[in-house]
């Protein structure tokens, strides 16, 4: 595949990461044109067990690893260094999201790798960072959501029991901030000729990206805007991004709804009656076009409170091809969320399906290190490299 018009064409990335935070950063680098090689352990990335299956590849793994190549290496094997270090010498970037002591235990800490390749940029994502008092704590996104008060805030504002968020924002925040760090280090390397080790803590990345945290830090939540409401209409649920006082003002002045409350009614009664009138108006739409026209008359920001499974029906998602169908490796296609980058004079986007374990042992080691296929087969026989032969027809 010709990637010459992709912004990151020519960059080589070793992706040791698993689950989400690191693989997500690697997927975005691949979509931008880098040659991303996932280095997978013998027991595999746990996300190979999650999601719908096509050609023995599950959906969650597919989403975060599409477009990458894959080698499967047992880092505990005596010959692992003879595989990894030659790749490191050719790499621009290494990504890993193990706990801070793991790469060092295998002999692949940043100091060791930088001695082999001083231009190497290494992104290490962990829950609590490399040098703090909790650096050895295991952490998934939900742990960070709990520690930073996101779960408690959701429960308080939504008046619901404490439960985790419905997406892994701590992971994706760390992956995106890690991506910014990587690209900043690439630019700096052009000036200095040297690489960097980026210590990205999920707790830092999520804290920095939480626009609501300042209300909690200053105990000032009451000074913020009134949160938007979801209203049930005759054509389905709609989120209206306006506090009710302003919504009612527009209903009265632009739609012409009469005020159902007398001037001497209590404030509580006025609100009750006006909300009932607003709700009644929202039940008058004969179809969705009528609802759209009504909202347009008030120039309100609003959105369909749709089910996520129907996201491909969202007009902008459809128009921008934000979800695309790619080869499912079983004679059909499967949907995948596209990367969001749109350039005026460059190409980006998912470049192929996710790989099987060890699928590219031969091609990667040949392309990057000039290793002969017979030598790769010898490493397979020794158990240093592994491959899903059954999946690949070997």
- Phi and psi (nearest 5°) for 209? -100, -5
CA dist 357 and 56 (Å) reads 11
Give the span between the Cα atoms of 19 and 291, in whole angstroms. Answer: 42
Sheet containing strand 236-240, strands side by side: 229-233, 236-240, 302-304
Q: Which CATH code fits 225-311?
A: 3.30.1540
Q: How do the domains of the chain map onto residue ranges?
A: 12-214+320-392, 225-311
Contacts with 84 (C-beta within 8 Å, 6 or more apart), sequence order:
14, 39, 73, 75, 108
Comparing CA positions, the residue from 101, 80, 74, 85 lying closest to residue 14 is 85
Residue 1 has pLDDT above 90, yes or no: no
Average pLDDT over residues 297-302: 94
For residue 97, pLDDT over 70 is answered with: yes
Query: Residues 358-367: pLDDT tens digits?
Result: 999 999 999 9
Average pLDDT rounded to a whole number, residues 227-241: 95
pLDDT digits (tens, 9 = 90+) for 135-164: 999 899 999 999 999 999 999 999 999 999
- Looking at residue 394, its pLDDT comes to 57
CATH architecture, range 12-214+320-392 = 3-Layer(aba) Sandwich (3.40)
Written as six digits, the tokens of 353 are 């399906």
Q: Which is nearest to 175 in space by CA: 192, 152, 198, 154?
A: 198
CA–CA distance, 357 with 354 (Å, rounded to integer): 10
Torsion of the alpha carbons at 64, 17, 129 and 208, rounded to the nearest 10: -20
pLDDT tens for each residue of 348-358: 999 999 999 99
234 pLDDT exceeds 80?
yes
Read off the pLDDT of residues 164-188 as tens digits, 9 standing for 90 and up: 999 999 999 999 999 999 999 999 9
């Amino acid at each position: 595949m010709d990637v010459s018009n992709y912004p990151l064409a020519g960059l080589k990335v070793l992706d040791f990461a698993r689950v989400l935070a690191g693989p997500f950063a690697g997927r975005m680098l691949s979509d931008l044109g880098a040659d991303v090689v996932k280095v997978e352990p013998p027991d595999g990335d746990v996300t190979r067990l999650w999601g719908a299956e096509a050609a023995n590849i599950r959906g969650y793994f597919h989403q975060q690893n599409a477009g990458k190549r894959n080698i499967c290496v047992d880092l505990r094997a005596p010959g692992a260094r003879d595989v990894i270090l030659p790749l490191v010498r050719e790499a621009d970037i290494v990504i890993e999201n193990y706990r801070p002591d793991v790469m060092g235990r295998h002999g692949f800490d940043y100091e060791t790798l930088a001695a082999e390749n001083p231009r190497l940029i290494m992104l290490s994502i962990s829950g609590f960072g490399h040098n703090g008092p909790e650096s050895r704590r295991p952490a998934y996104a939900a742990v960070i959501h709990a520690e930073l008060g996101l779960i408690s805030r959701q429960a308080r504002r939504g008046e619901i029991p404490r439960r985790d968020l419905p997406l892994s924002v701590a992971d994706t925040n760390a992956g995106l901030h890690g991506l910014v760090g990587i690209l900043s280090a690439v630019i700096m390397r052009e000036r200095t000729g040297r690489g960097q080790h980026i210590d990205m803590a999920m707790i830092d990345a999520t804290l920095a990206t939480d626009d609501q945290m300042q209300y909690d830090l200053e105990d000032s939540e009451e000074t913020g805007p009134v949160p938007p409401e979801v209203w049930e209409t005759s054509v389905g649920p709609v989120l209206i991004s306006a506090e009710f006082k302003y919504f009612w003002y527009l209903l009265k002045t632009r739609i012409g709804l009469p005020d159902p409350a007398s001037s001497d009614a209590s404030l509580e009664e006025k609100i009750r009656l006006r909300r009932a009138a607003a709700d009644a108006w929202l039940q008058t739409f004969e179809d969705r076009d009528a609802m759209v026209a009504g909202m347009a008359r008030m120039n309100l920001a609003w959105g369909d409170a749709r089910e996520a499974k129907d996201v491909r029906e969202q007009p902008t998602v459809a128009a921008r091809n934000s979800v695309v169908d790619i080869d499912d490796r079983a004679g059909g296609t499967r949907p995948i969320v596209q990367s969001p980058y749109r350039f005026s004079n460059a190409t980006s986007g998912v470049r192929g399906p996710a790989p099987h374990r060890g699928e590219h042992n031969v091609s990667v080691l040949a392309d990057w290190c000039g290793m002969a296929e017979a030598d790769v087969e010898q490493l397979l026989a020794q158990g240093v490299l592994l491959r899903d032969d059954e999946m690949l027809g070997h």
